[in-house]
């Protein structure tokens, strides 16, 4: 079963059919994407998905504009200034991938007070006036330890590769990994580095810490860092541990090569970059007057040993295993949560 079918089937199970229409009520509305970071393949895929889906929506007259803005640095102060500029530019809704869950709350409240809809996704905000779309990142982190506990019941030393410091996604996945280790004390986190969800950053960070580490049984990750970790272990002539992957094409391709060569086993898990398109449609539906819960949860994407080849074949070279959402998909998510 493909990634799209797996993800959307898990949504569809909970809902009945809903009417599909993009109301002319939003034809004159402008939606902006405020993004804090674009320095890895996941973020690039996220922006590509946004561009693809929103261009079609604009061309069909569903909305008047759907412009994307990315800050030069991953700084909450810079993104707050960006949000304030979007308020002045007269956008009706802001879709937000936030640098911090709390540091942007002031700017978000300003937007809400100006009558602007704010929908945060992936990197969410805690300001009550905003909507939030996320996977259960804590469960995603904990699932890695659960997998390893089945694979290696005797446990061992773990290397943890974290994401961007200060972002809610990093905190939640880390909390899930910690919770998993607490439930499975045969594992010990022997070292931790920040990989910024980018394979080149992860490779340098892992290479820097490896000389100080004991033998590592497994590497727990957050996405975009598995291939870099593998390269660092290979360059250091260290035994290759079980590395949890993050649905990037380079990770899946390396895993497939190792699987064919020596039966290498692991799993891969991440949020789909196309969640940006779900956030767009949620914002459009709120502007159209639909009642939408403040917190929406979507499934994370998991790839296992038995469906690796199929999902690798459906993943663009240099990209990320992905699903993009239609208006109908968004309506199903909204109905399921209601």
3-state SS string for 195-241: CCCCHHHHHHHHHHHHHHCCCCCEEECCCCCHHHHHHHHHHCCCCCC
Split into its structural domains, the chain has a count of 2
pLDDT tens figures, 293-337: 999 998 888 999 999 999 999 998 999 999 899 999 999 999 987
Q: Is 248 in contact with 45 (CB distance < 8 Å)?
A: no
For residues 246 and 153, membership in a common domain is answered with: yes
Q: Lowest mean pLDDT: which of 22-36, 215-229, 256-270?
A: 22-36
For residues 39 and 127, membership in a common domain is answered with: yes
- H or E element in which residue 193 lies: strand 187-194
**Sequence-ordered list of residues with C-beta below 8 angstroms from that of 113, at least 6 positions apart, any chain:** none
Full-prediction pTM beyond 0.85? no
* Residue ranges making up the domain that contains 153: 137-270
Asked whether the predicted pLDDT for residue 3 surpasses 60, the reply is no
For residues 231 and 278, membership in a common domain is answered with: no
For residues 163 and 94, membership in a common domain is answered with: no
- Is 52 domain-assigned? yes
For residues 243 and 141, membership in a common domain is answered with: yes
Q: What is the dihedral of CA 205, 220, 119, 4, to 10 degrees?
A: 120
Asked whether the predicted pLDDT for residue 36 surpasses 80, the reply is yes
* Domain CATH number, residue 261: 3.40.50.2300
pLDDT tens figures, 106-138: 999 999 999 999 999 999 999 999 999 988 999
For residues 63 and 123, membership in a common domain is answered with: yes
- Is 311 domain-assigned? no
pLDDT at residue 5, as a whole number: 55
- Is 141 domain-assigned? yes
- Is 244 domain-assigned? yes
- Across 5-23, average pLDDT: 47
For residues 275 and 131, membership in a common domain is answered with: yes
For residues 20 and 76, membership in a common domain is answered with: yes
Pairwise CA distance, residues 149 & 155, whole Å: 7
For residues 156 and 204, membership in a common domain is answered with: yes
For residues 260 and 147, membership in a common domain is answered with: yes
pLDDT at residue 9, as a whole number: 53
Asked whether the predicted pLDDT for residue 74 surpasses 90, the reply is no
Q: What is the mean pLDDT of the chain?
A: 92
- Is 309 domain-assigned? no
- Across 263-285, average pLDDT: 96
- Across 158-169, average pLDDT: 92
pLDDT tens figures, 188-224: 999 999 999 999 999 999 999 999 999 999 999 998 8
- Is 310 domain-assigned? no
pLDDT at residue 16, as a whole number: 38
**Comparison of pLDDT for 168 and 3, the residue scoring more:** 168
For residues 69 and 158, membership in a common domain is answered with: no
- Across 269-285, average pLDDT: 96
């Amino acid at each position: 079963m493909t990634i799209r079918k797996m993800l959307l089937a898990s949504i569809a199970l909970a809902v009945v059919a809903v009417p599909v229409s993009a109301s002319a009520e939003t034809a004159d509305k402008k939606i902006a994407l405020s993004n804090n970071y674009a320095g890895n393949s996941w973020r690039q895929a996220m922006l590509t998905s946004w561009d693809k889906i929103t261009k079609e929506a604009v061309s069909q007259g569903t909305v008047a504009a759907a412009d994307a803005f990315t800050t030069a640095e991953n700084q909450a102060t810079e993104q707050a200034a960006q949000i304030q500029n979007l308020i002045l530019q007269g956008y009706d809704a802001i879709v937000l991938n936030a640098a911090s869950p709390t540091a942007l709350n002031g700017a978000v409240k300003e937007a809400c007070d100006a009558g602007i809809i704010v929908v945060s996704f992936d990197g969410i905000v805690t300001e009550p006036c905003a909507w939030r779309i996320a996977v259960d990142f804590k469960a995603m982190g904990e699932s890695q330890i659960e997998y390893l506990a089945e694979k290696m019941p005797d446990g061992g030393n773990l290397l943890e590769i974290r994401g961007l410091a200060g972002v809610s996604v990093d905190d939640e996945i880390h909390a899930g990994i910690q919770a998993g280790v607490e439930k499975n004390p045969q594992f010990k986190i022997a070292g931790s580095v920040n990989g910024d969800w980018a394979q080149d950053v992860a490779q340098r960070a892992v290479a820097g810490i490896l000389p100080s580490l004991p033998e590592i049984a497994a590497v727990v990750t957050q996405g975009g860092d598995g291939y870099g970790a593998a390269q660092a272990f290979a360059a250091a002539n260290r035994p290759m541990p079980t590395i949890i992957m993050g649905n990037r094409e380079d990770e899946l391709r390396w895993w497939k090569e190792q699987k064919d060569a020596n039966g290498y086993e692991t799993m891969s898990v991440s949020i789909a970059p196309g969640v940006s398109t779900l956030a767009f449609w949620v914002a459009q539906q709120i502007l159209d007057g639909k009642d939408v819960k403040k917190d929406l949860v979507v499934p994370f994407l998991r790839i296992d040993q038995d469906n690796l080849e199929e999902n690798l074949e459906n993943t663009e070279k240099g990209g990320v295993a992905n699903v993009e959402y239609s208006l109908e998909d968004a309506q199903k998510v909204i109905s399921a949560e209601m």
